[in-house]
Structure 1
Amino acid sequence: MRKLVIFALVGFFAQLIDGALGMSFGLSSSSLLIAYGLAPAVVSSSIHMSEIATTAVSGISHYKFGNLDKTLVLPLVVPGAISAFLGAAFLSSLPGEVIKPFISVFLLLLGIYIVVRFLSLRSTPESSKRSPLKKRFLYPLGAVAGFFDAVGGGGWGPINTPILLSQKGATPRKVIGTVDTSEFAITISATLGFLLFLGWEQFSWIWVLAFMIGGVIAAPIAAWLVRIVPSFILGVLAGGFIILTNVRTLLTTGNISNDVLTVIYAVLLLGWLAVIVTSIRKNIRFQRRRENTVN
């Protein structure tokens, strides 16, 4: 019961960040479960099963709050769903202990990418002018994101969201809402793949239930938060958590003493806090300069 409550809280905060950033539920949850010793295929399958509920509620919430760009959904979903199914088949065929360090490295790199990406982000007004995105750009983007989402237990948001946000005239809340809403189809496809290639018995149902409960509660709150909370703060927080968790997984596979591990964790925590403070201060200075320019 205690574990159920703890992981429900993790699911709540993971979905809170995911719904406000368009990424991080799968990455945060996968990092935590791999750190607990579960095989990557079991982790990804369990996370995707729980995301069926969380992405459904999140998508409906984003739609209700007007955070959706309908022109982007299908070009991302169709190739993404196909490649997510293939990614589930690929991961299911690999031995858990062999692939675990590689998945942790992949998640660690994504965590670093998220921190770097959102550390340089600035709170700017939304632009009404947006360059239309071509399907020849969206199709491969959706395919790559769907595959790595199934393999890593998370990747749809970290790959799609920053790339779409970098496009001229992108509206952050609509990019985030669209990525979150389209993830429902990717989750369904990946889950079907895991069911077919792994079977029901390989799902970790206590984690599925815990993350589902926490995520469903957080989803509508996150859809509201995306309209008011600066995304650079949530991005740095989420990326730091992913980095810390996967560094722990990688370090514990080696023969490193507890004293050395404690020092490494302390340095990483201090670095994480320094990055958060630096990001906030840089954005305050940026806002002041912009206000002075306007005035």
Structure 2
Amino acid sequence: MEKALAVLNLNKLKGKVTLKHVGWIIVSLKVIILLYFIHLVIEGFQANTFQFGSMFFGFILAGFVAQLIDGALGMAYGVSCTSLLLWFGIPPKFASASVHTSEIFTTGVSGLSHIRFKNIDKKLFFQIAITGSIGAILGAYLLSDILDGNLIKPYISVYLLGLGLYLLFKAYRNKAKAARKIKNAPLLAFCGGLFDAIGGGGWGPIVTSNLLSQGKNARESIGTVNTAEFFVTYFATAVFIFVLGVQHLEIVLGLIIGGVIAAPVGAYVASRINPRVLLTLVGVMVVLISSWSIFQAWF
């Protein structure tokens, strides 16, 4: 009985909260994290703790490549970026924390844009945003406080290898099936948020691809999942900051700088290159990098 009442109250809350309210929540949360990071950057410069060496330019390159891919495909930022950071030797928990922190600045803008152009299925949004955030919180806590980074790194590489192979499969599979009722969306989002936080990427490939495979409209699938991703990313980052603090801020700054530079280039690439070709290139890159990481760890 109590469970039924809780569900009823949640449904009433969903009815009262409009997409305009969601937009203002996104703006408010972005302002909070922006002010916090401005404070950290000022402190870092005053204490002279930043390391602007050759690795910093590597982080800019990683952010550029990942955002270029994401801008052209609408997915695979986390998978691409995390694979590159692991290749640079960054521990898994710091790689995932850095990727999620930098994503806050891109997913927020993306979400607001989708709200503006009404690309969102409101019912589906609440189904995946809530459980996806819960999964992300759990995944971030497991990665940052319980799981051994060195021990789990090969398994994360295996996970990323699987995603890379799936991207290759997605590039050459048949078109989506006819539309039908979406099944198990909350559970799908929970798993997507969990694995995204632990592996540093996968929310888009897991959730968007599954919705499309069930016949969900592409415009609403991408818009809804991208908007929900802001909350998944935000709460995962909050856990990382609470447990780990903010370390390796130069990684985050590098990813953001590279992403900002790549954003307009990604839009141009999206209009020029065949998406199947680009998705194939991404899949091959992720497979090669992940395979090399697995080889180093186990052989």
Q: TM-score, normalised by structure 1?
A: 0.74
Q: How much has 1:46 moved relative to structure 2?
A: 1.0
CA distance in 1, matches of 2:126, 2:72: 22
CA distance in 2, matches of 1:183, 1:69: 14
Cα shift readout 1:186-208 (whole Å, capped 9, x = no counterpart): 000101111122222xx321111
2:239 corresponds to: 193
Q: How much has 1:79 moved relative to structure 2?
A: 0.2
Cα shift readout 1:202-259 (whole Å, capped 9, x = no counterpart): x32111111112224444665687677653233212111111111111222355xxxx
Q: Structure 2 vs 1, CA of residues 27 and 15 (structure 1 numbering), >3 Å: closer, same or farther?
A: same
Instruction: State how 1:54-65 maps to structure 2 within 5 Å.
Output: 54-64=106-116
Letter in 2 for 1:131: R
Counterpart of 1:26 (choices 48, 65, 78) is 78
Q: Structure 2 vs 1, CA of residues 228 and 164 (structure 1 numbering), >3 Å: closer, same or farther?
A: farther
Q: How much has 1:64 moved relative to structure 2?
A: 4.8
CA distance in 2, matches of 1:171, 1:40: 34
Instruction: State how 1:1-295 maps to structure 2 within 5 Å.
Output: 1=52, 2-64=54-116, 67-92=119-144, 93-122=146-175, 130-133=179-182, 137-168=184-215, 170-200=216-246, 203-219=247-263, 222=266, 230-254=274-298
2:30 corresponds to: none
Q: Structure 2 vs 1, CA of residues 228 and 186 (structure 1 numbering), >3 Å: closer, same or farther?
A: farther
Letter in 1 for 2:56: L
Equivalenced residues, count: 246
Q: How much has 1:118 moved relative to structure 2?
A: 1.8
**8 A contact 1:15–1:222 mirrored in 2:** yes
CA distance in 2, matches of 1:9, 1:38: 15
**8 A contact 1:19–1:180 mirrored in 2:** no
Greater CA deviation, 29-38 or 228-237? 228-237
Q: Structure 2 vs 1, CA of residues 115 and 146 (structure 1 numbering), >3 Å: closer, same or farther?
A: same
Letter in 2 for 1:59: G
CA distance in 2, matches of 1:227, 1:73: 28
CA distance in 2, matches of 1:221, 1:67: 23
Identity, in percent, stands at 44
Q: How much has 1:68 moved relative to structure 2?
A: 3.8
Mark the runs of 5 or more structure 2 residues left unpaired by the alignment: 1-51
Mark the runs of 5 or more structure 1 residues left unpaired by the alignment: 256-295
CA distance in 1, matches of 2:109, 2:274: 22
Q: How much has 1:12 moved relative to structure 2?
A: 2.5
**8 A contact 1:57–1:220 mirrored in 2:** no
CA distance in 2, matches of 1:218, 1:69: 29
CA distance in 2, matches of 1:224, 1:133: 33
Superposed CA RMSD: 2.6
Greater CA deviation, 78-87 or 53-62? 53-62
